[in-house]
Structures are given as C-alpha cells and as structure tokens.
Amino acid sequence: MRYDPAKVFLLQDGAVSALSGRRMARDADIEASVALFRRHFPQGQVRRSEGNLGVARNILRGEKLVFEELDAELGYFFEDDLELGPWYLYALERLREITAPFPRIAYFGAYGDHRRDYPGPVVKYIPLEHHWGFGLRRHAWRQMMAWLKPYYDILEGVDYNARNHRRIFELFRPLAIASEASSQDAAKSIACLELGLYRVLTTVSFGRYIGERGNSFSPAHFRAMGFDKMRVAQSETYDFTPLTEARLQEIDAHHRRHYERLRRERFDDILAAHPGR
C-alpha cells in the first residue's frame, strides 16, 4: 500500500487533567511514547494535548483531525493496546476495497475472533465489537456525531473516568437496545445500530489485543475473555471472500439481538448498579 508519511499522526494525550488536577500518566512515559513514534515515523506529526483529555475526548480529537481538518473520506485509527501483525495494514486496505460498494458500512477492522483460531488463508467476516484498529468512513462518522451529541454533552466538564454513568444509561432508556457499558465505544455501537450502520471484522486475527491493564480490563478480566491466548495468524497468503448484503444483514442482526437481549434482561440491573447523582 502507498501512504503519505506526513499524514501519520500521534494524538498524544497529556499527563494531568485540567478539570480535576489528577495525574493520569507519568511524564517520562509520554516522552518515551513520542520518541518511539518519531523514531518509526520521522515524517509523521505529533499532536500533543497540554492536559489529559481522557479516552473519549482524545479519540474525538483524532476523528476531528481526520474528518474536519484533513477532510478525508476515510481514516485508519489505532489505539495503543492493539499490537499489529505484519499483514494488518494490508488487511485494512483489502477491507477498504471490499466494503466500498456498501455505503452503510461505518467501521471495518482486522483483529479477528479472539475466541476461535482462524489461521487463514480464507478470510470471512463477523460482527466488529471493539473499536481498536479500524477504518472509519466520514459520512458515517458525521451521522454518529449528530446522534451522539447528548452523550458528549454529558462528558463535558468532568474527567472521562468520572463520567456520570447513570445519566448515560438514562439517555439510552427509550431505545429497544442497551449496553452494559457507558464508554464511548459502547455509545458508538448503539449509535450505529440506531442509524442502520454496519460494523464488520475479519475472522482471521491480523493483530492481537494486549490491553491487559487499562480503562476496560484487569489481568483477571483479560484472561477470562481469552485475550491471553490470542495469536496473530501466520499464513503466507490470504484469500478475502466476497462480502454480500445478505452477510451484512446477518452481522447486523447478530449485533441487534445481543443488544436487544441486554435491554430486555439486564437493563434494570444495570441502572441499579449506578444510582443517580
């Protein structure tokens, strides 16, 4: 694949929250992150945040960079807890080509099914759940941002980790679907379902999740989910099967059934776990 090395960006978050004064990272670790990026991408650009924005605001900053400042039709986004294999960018490029005829596809990723081993060379498609290393299209992002404005309004004025979970869950109460999480990832998942946008993932794991510790995982949860057994596929060639509207509808239906079941069976318990404040 060809790419413009000047359009590779590191969106480096800051160490201390300007909202609460809490320290979220060590200065030395931030400098090491920047130095590593500059070593591997000498023509790339570092966009530092003076204060710590947190996950949601820093990712939103990257999305606005790609879709507003650069006015790109498509962006590739990588969180720091996904380790890319040697074929990952190739896989995203193939997905870009394969998904192009389907305007309802918002997200596509290539980290694969961590619950099963798909070694290749045949690559098929399953629902994408986590937004880790993915392609996102501008037209879909614009739809999501309009729909998610009330969600981002709730995040204003507080650290992301101190967000009002109850208010977020109440925001989604009128819907027929629900999530057990109040994260920006979960909110975008709900937005896609409500807007009729698809999210697809390869069966083959072209990368592996390494976020054993962080906002979403503890070592015990990481192992319970099976991420410690995740392996990058080692095939020498890969055959991406054609994608059809019928398969996309199956993927969407799988997502929808999962979120509908959560709303039907778990929503009251979710609210009870987050009393109002």
121-143 confidence digits (pLDDT tens): 999 999 999 999 999 999 999 99
Please report the pLDDT score of residue 147 as a whole number: 98
Residue 275: which pLDDT band, with cuts at 50, 70 and 90?
confident
Give the mean model confidence (pLDDT) for residues 163-182: 96
- Higher local confidence (pLDDT), 217 or 269: 269
Residue 148 pLDDT? 98
- Buried (b) or exposed (e) across 131-144, using 16+ Cβ within 10 A? bbbbbbbbebbebb
Residue 81, CA distances (Å) to 178, 202, 242 in order? 26, 18, 30
Contact (Cβ atoms closer than 8 angstroms) between residue 197 and residue 106: yes
What does the pLDDT look like over 207-237, one tens digit per residue?
Answer: 998 877 766 677 777 787 777 777 898 898 9
Place of tokens 């799988």: 254
Query: Looking at residue 265, what is its pLDDT?
Result: 96
| 201 — pLDDT class (breaks 50, 70, 90) | very high
Instruction: Please state, for a pLDDT cut of 70, what percent of the chain lies above it.
Output: 98
pLDDT (mean) for 24-36: 97
- Answer yes or no: are the C-beta atoms of 85 and 207 closer than 8 Å: yes
Q: What percent of the chain is predicted at pLDDT more than 90?
A: 84
pLDDT at 277 over 90: no
Average pLDDT, the chain: 94
Mean pLDDT over residues 195-214, rounded? 91
Distances (CA, A) of 153 to 56, 179, 184, 191: 12, 19, 12, 15
Residue 216, pLDDT score: 67
Instruction: Name the band, by pLDDT with cuts 50, 70 and 90, for residue 1.
Output: low
| pLDDT, average across residues 60-67 | 98
Q: What angle do CA 36, 38, 41 make, to 5 degrees?
A: 105
Rounded distance, CA 206 to CA 57, Å? 27
The per-residue pLDDT for 44 is 98
Least confidently predicted of 65-79, 93-107, 190-204, 222-236: 222-236
